[in-house]
Amino acid sequence: MRYVRGASVAPVWRGSGGRGPRCRERLVGEWTGERSLHSARSGWMSLEEGTPAVARCEPPGTPPPGPAPGWRTSRRRVAPSPRESSRSKRGWQRSWRVFAVLAGLAIGCAQAPEEVVLQGPTMGTYYRARAIAETGEREAIRALIEHRLDAVDRAMSTYREDSEISRFNLLAASESQVFSEETWAVLGLAWQVREESRGAFDPTVGPLVDAWGFGAPGRSAEPTPPLDDQLAELRRAIGAIKLDSEDRRVLKLEDGAALDLSAIAKGWAVDSVSEALLKAGYTNHLVEVGGEVRTAGHSPAGDPWRIAIERPPARVSDSGQGPATEEADQPNLQRILPFTDGSLATSGDYRNYWQRDGVRYSHTIDPRTGRPVEHALASASVFHTSCAVADAYATALMALGPDDGLQWADDKGIAALLLVYRDDTLEELPSRAFRDRFGAAD
């Protein structure tokens, strides 16, 4: 999934009200992380009582203060002499020049906003972010983003031995673990989607993912399909946990039961970063982690953000992993969706798979069967206010397949676009909610 820059239109910043420039508000606050954030709110500020501003400058036209204490004033009106009038005129001209300089300084307080573009590694993939900010705030924004991403990775990664998820997966049956508030929230959301999808999405699918060669410990250069009796044993552990909301505790009911939040954690990380940016005052931004995207406000051009859904390549015969040819790996765009505040997540089976003896094994494992999906659904894209929910829904749709998936999306009011292989072409299957939001294909 990629984003595309919109047309060039002058941006409109909130709070200006068409009444001319106002001063920008600079904040010095302790950010809820390990580093201090020195930032400025995007848009024009509105000075209010209690604003934590360390400096203010008055806008043009502010009336001058009253006479200083100790100076005597007179109400008499006396006609000035010609000499006094001349001095008064020259003094007025000097005062006007001084006022003009001060007014220019006041206008200069409102620095022109700029686009900050950042990217870096995270969670086994890459993050990309774009935000409208003031000059000099790039590193403060980077610190904010990477702190939140690192916090999610430390808690939920299956590749880190010290993560909360990894520690739980090492427990034996009848043992339990208390989780942090954030990980508990993600686990609770994942369990809710599990119930909504009737098991098509399951955060305990990890052992099956490993067995098929797609997980952290199971990945190998030459994976082999597990035997039927192995699958039967592994399936006993699917769903074999018990959640206790009183103290955020999870009890393991079977040996081998394990958690894997990979299908929702990236979306959660996107939400977390976006909300942190909003809290810091950056109201116009885009955040992407591994293709899962959330936007807020408008693009630098002042238009809605334009987010592209990739067209999957044609299926080709291959004995390796991933697209077989250079041509198959070239991204094409299926749809470009304009929106201001929302998220888009896509799940697909066309980039992560392996083949053996002419059989293609997708990385999408159906928790209900314990096996990779075999249907013709190439990808599922979901639009939602929450990127975490969109991420989980897209994964559930890939397990359900084109027919059951479209029916489920319509029943739940999910804005989803399914792309299905039909012989040598791709067919679009939009849900009703998706058509209502974005219209039919051109």
Residues 257, 254: Cα–Cα separation, whole Å: 6
Residues 297, 293: Cα–Cα separation, whole Å: 14
* pLDDT for the residue numbered 91: 53
Residue 313 pLDDT grade (very low, low, confident, very high; cuts 50, 70, 90): confident
pLDDT per position as a tens digit, 39-97: 333 332 222 223 222 222 333 343 444 433 333 333 334 445 555 555 555 554 544 44
Question: In the predicted model, what is the mean pLDDT of residues 206-215?
Answer: 90
CA geometry: angle 6, 12, 13, nearest 5 deg: 120
pTM: 0.73
* pLDDT for the residue numbered 350: 82
Question: In the predicted model, what is the mean pLDDT of residues 278-300?
Answer: 97
Domains and CATH numbers, the chain: 168-261 (1.10.3980.10)
Instruction: Single out the residue of 1, 45, 53 nearest to residue 283, CA to CA.
Output: 45
Long-range pairs for 435-441: beta carbons < 8 A, 24 or more residues apart:
437/383, 438/335, 438/337, 438/383, 441/335
* pLDDT for the residue numbered 87: 54
Average pLDDT of the chain to the nearest whole number? 78
pLDDT per position as a tens digit, 230-280: 999 999 999 999 999 999 999 999 999 999 999 999 999 999 999 999 999
Helix axes 138-156, 262-279, angle to 10 degrees: 150
* pLDDT for the residue numbered 219: 59
* pLDDT for the residue numbered 358: 86
Instruction: Single out the residue of 358, 391, 396, 390 nearest to residue 377, CA to CA.
Output: 396
Q: Tell me the residue ranges of DSSP E strands in 94-215.
A: 114-122, 125-133, 176-178
pLDDT per position as a tens digit, 158-210: 999 999 999 999 999 999 999 999 999 999 999 999 999 999 999 999 999 99
Q: With beta carbons less than 8 A apart as the criterion, state whether 230 and 256 touch.
A: no
Question: In the predicted model, what is the mean pLDDT of residues 366-371?
Answer: 95
* pLDDT for the residue numbered 105: 42
User: End-to-end alpha-carbon separation of the chain, Å?
Assistant: 19
* pLDDT for the residue numbered 356: 87
* pLDDT for the residue numbered 215: 78
* pLDDT for the residue numbered 108: 45
* pLDDT for the residue numbered 221: 64
